[in-house]
Structure 1
Amino acid sequence: MATHRPVSLIGVPTDVGAGHRGARLGPEALRIAGLPEALAARGVAVRDVGNLQGPRNPWTGPVDGYRHLDEVVAWNHALMEATLVELRDGRLPIMLGGDHCLGIGSITAVARWCREQGKQLRVLWLDAHSDFNTSEVTPSGNIHGMPVACLCGLGPEALTRLGGDAPAISPQQVRQIGIRSVDQDEKRLIKQHQVDVYDMRYIDESGMKRAMEAALEGVDANTHLHVSFDVDFLDPSIAPGVGTTVPGGVNYREAQLVMEMIADTGLMGSLDIVELNPLLDRRNRTAKLAVDLVESLFGKSTLMRD
């Protein structure tokens, strides 16, 4: 069995960037579904640092195109600082979300750490949505639809410069897998910035194995893989506990293959698990499936493989 870096679980209980209430309950649902115990059973040393604290969700409308910007900044700044602490301590941070706006804080921290270490960064964005919106193209103003754009320098300065550097990453460092819901203007931005997207049509035509081989092409021993796993990546028939369900998603076996191929690289250095909404789930089914898939990220497979 592969030896794993010790892991730190960071709970971020907020739905401040989302359009539905409930993602703030995600961290506890993942714990109740047995995530710490599942990792420990795989020989991983697990430290649960508990939940970060931040402002309550005011549940107000957009101001200048953004909903809850001050609160989103506060939560992401706290997460960025907490993630950096764990990375610098030689640990693998797992962010238990919370909505996907939190990817700004976690990936800003990872990008900074990679620059400090002289490492390459590759972000695998597992999601039904590209999250490349800006305030100009989204009527809702929900920031959980904007994190990739913010990380690439498009968005309010409070988020694009969260870590002092802008942009935190370039679009060329991102590979998006499982995408099947993109707003019209967002499509233009993705094309303009040349984001590498393996949407469900590509996966249907070429297969998940080919998609993952392409997404992992060029990674080497000096690459830090950051996996940002939005549970709406999965088809809602197997993962109902999300606020933004999109039919036609990744099935169970495809999802396992994704996780197993990432595990095979041995390069995953950080992980987000986001958008789990227990209020919309059935008997914590989606959280249990997420735990099952994370086990595969840490090397669980049907057979012993070289």
Structure 2
Amino acid sequence: MRKKLSIVGVPMDLGQLRRGVDMGPSAMRYADAVKRLERLGYEVEDLGDITIQIIKDDKNMQPSLRNFKSIIKAASRLADCVDSIIQKDRFPLVLGGDHSIAIGTLAGTAKHYKKLGVIWFDAHGDLNTDETSPSGNIHGMPLAASLGFGHPDLTGIGGFQPKVKPEHVVIIGARDLDRGEKDLIKEHSIKVYTMHEIDRLGMTKVMEETIAYLKEKTDGVHLSLDLDGLDPDDAPGVGTPVIGGISYRESHLAMEMLAESEIVTSAEFVEVNPILDEKNKTAEIAVALMGSLLGEKLL
């Protein structure tokens, strides 16, 4: 991994209905994200936050896609920022914000890899489109959009599509999938480790298989970590908690194994909602997992 790292925050809460997740970047900074990474020997550059512009009458522009134009604007700005970070040979670390921001992160990252891999650490598949989504919330669509499925204005952020191929994606921790997402997973043979597989195989085996699978197929790997991938007992400050999730210790093990593998070339941590949290617990967990991903060890 590069020892030069750039942080960018995306205070976005437009991809879903519950307010507060726009304060996620601030909460993670308050949990000493910068200091923790500097202690690991990284040269950390904090670029501040992307400006989120709310466009008037956005609801009427695309009724099946909530806050459509505002999210496209933010995703385009983020894509340009991430692109610039990688051009400078720095590791991009994006702080969310709801998971719709991944549309921009992946658009900026994918420009630099011919076979970008993605680890989607999440309770949800985020594989809905405007045609399959039961809610119209775009935070349930970013992986689909990055694969080239959905509204062309979402799939075309950055001027090209797809950003990633189905065979280069691994979803870890899934336990709440809509019918349209299940159909897309089966149709395109996307590799998914549900909580059933994690319980049955153990996190060590899941990560060994994931790392081997992506090492063989890709030339870079983006980690998109939604804090609702963890069990809500460990990470209560998320907007769409689903019981029966990945434990705190399993999550650290996953990050530690990714650090040892040295396959991760960019990362984002999303869906931290301080309003729903307990004494900033979820933001602190997010920062601890960043540490493990980027090489922090007990001894």
2:158 corresponds to: 163
Which residue identity is paired with 2:237? G
For the residues of structure 2 that align with 1:203 and 1:300, how far apart are their CA atoms? 24
1:240-278 deviations in whole A, cap 9, x for unaligned? 000000000000111011000100011221111101100
Of 201, 209, 212, the residue aligned with 1:214 is: 209
Q: 2:238 & 2:200 partners in 1: Cα distance?
A: 26
8 Å contact from structure 2 (residues 58, 68) kept in 1: no
Structure 1 residue 236: Cα displacement: 0.3
Equivalents in 2 of 1:59, 1:11: separation in Å? 26
Question: Which one of the candidate residues 279, 294, 299 is aligned to 1:298?
Answer: 294
Query: Which of 190, 195, 207 is the aligned partner of 2:190?
Result: 195
CA displacement at 1:222 relative to structure 2: 7.1
Instruction: Measure how far apart 1:4 and its partner are.
Output: 3.9
Q: TM-score, normalised by structure 2?
A: 0.95
Distance 1:97 1:198 in 2: 24
Deviation at 1:59, TM superposition (A): 10
**Partner in structure 2 of residue 224 of structure 1:** 220
Once the two structures are overlaid, the 10-residue window that deviates more, 29-38 or 135-144, is: 135-144
Distance change in 2, residues 1:270/1:135 (3 Å): same
Counterparts in 2 of 1:228-247, with a 5 A limit?
Answer: 228-247=224-243
> Which amino acid counterpart does residue 297 of structure 2 have in structure 1?
S
Following TM superposition, by how much is the alpha carbon of 1:221 offset from its aligned partner in structure 2, in angstroms?
A: 11
Are 1:154 and 2:153 matched, yes or no? no
Contact 1:150 1:159 in 2 (8 A): yes
Counterpart for residue 76 of structure 1: 75
Unaligned runs of 5+ in 2: none
Q: Aligned partners of 2:4, 2:190: CA distance in 1, in Å?
A: 32
1:77 CA displacement: 0.2
Cα deviation, residue 199, structure 1: 0.5
Indicate how the Cα distance of structure 1 residues 281 and 59 shifts in structure 2: closer, same or farther if over 3 A, else same.
farther
Cα contact 1:15–1:57 (8 A) shared by 2: no
Count of aligned pairs between the two proteins: 297
Which residue type is aligned with residue 180 of structure 1? R
Counterpart in the other structure of 2:260: 264
Does the CA-based 8 Å contact 1:133-1:146 persist in structure 2?
yes
Separation in 2 of the partners of 1:226 and 1:232? 18
Name which of 201, 204, 212 aligns with 2:199.
Answer: 204
Q: 1:125, 1:229 within 8 Å by CA — same for their partners in 2?
A: yes
C-alpha distance in 1, partners of 2:56/2:137?
Answer: 13
Instruction: Give 5+ residue unaligned stretches, structure 1.
Output: none
What is the distance in 1 between the residues matched to 2:3 and 2:223? 15
Give yes or no for contact 2:120–2:171 (8 Å, CA) kept in 1: yes
- Matched to 1:177, the amino acid is I
Alignment partner, residue 121 of structure 2: 126
Match of 2:283 in 1: 287
- Quote the offset at 1:139 in angstroms: 2.2
Q: CA separation in 1, counterparts of 2:131 and 2:3?
A: 41
State the TM-score, normalizing by the size of structure 1: 0.93
Cα distance in 1 between the residues matched to 2:19 and 2:75: 18
Q: Is structure 2 residue 10 aligned with structure 1 residue 6?
A: no
Q: Secondary structure at the match of 1:16?
A: coil
1:59 to 1:173, Cα distance in 2 relative to 1, 3 A: farther
Kept in 1: contact 2:8–2:50 (CA 8 A) = yes
Relative to structure 1, is the Cα distance of residues 125 and 183 closer, same or farther in structure 2, using a 3 angstrom cutoff? same
Aligned Cα root-mean-square deviation (Å): 1.7
1:193, 1:220 → 2: CA distance? 19
